Amino acid sequence: MDRLGAADRSDFRIRKLRRKLSKFGEAVDWSCSLEDVVNYLNDRREEVSNRTLFDDTQVIKQFLDD
């Protein structure tokens, strides 16, 4: 998250990303297998709009890329 601050991201954006990653972290096992990620996204699909699901997917992709 420090990198986001250095990249001149707003505090609001950083808090939003932190919340999304916290939800993701609570839902998956520490090993974070592909099955865990798919199950998390399928559960989120039932709870949120397509736009929110897309945003969540992008945050997870960036997290796993790093």
* Cβ count near 20 (within 10 Å): 18
Chain-wide mean pLDDT for the chain? 83
Give the model's pLDDT for residue 55: 92
pLDDT at 41 over 90: yes
The pair of structure tokens assigned to 29 is 């096992």
pLDDT bin (cut points 50, 70, 90) of residue 12 is: confident
Phi (first) and psi of residue 48, to 5 degrees: -125, 170
Find the range with the poorest average confidence among 9-13, 23-27, 36-40, 59-63. Answer: 9-13
CA-based torsion, 34, 39, 40, 46: positive or negative:
positive
How many structural domains compose the chain? 1
Asked whether the whole model's pTM tops 0.85, one would answer no
What domain range is 7 assigned to? Answer: 2-65
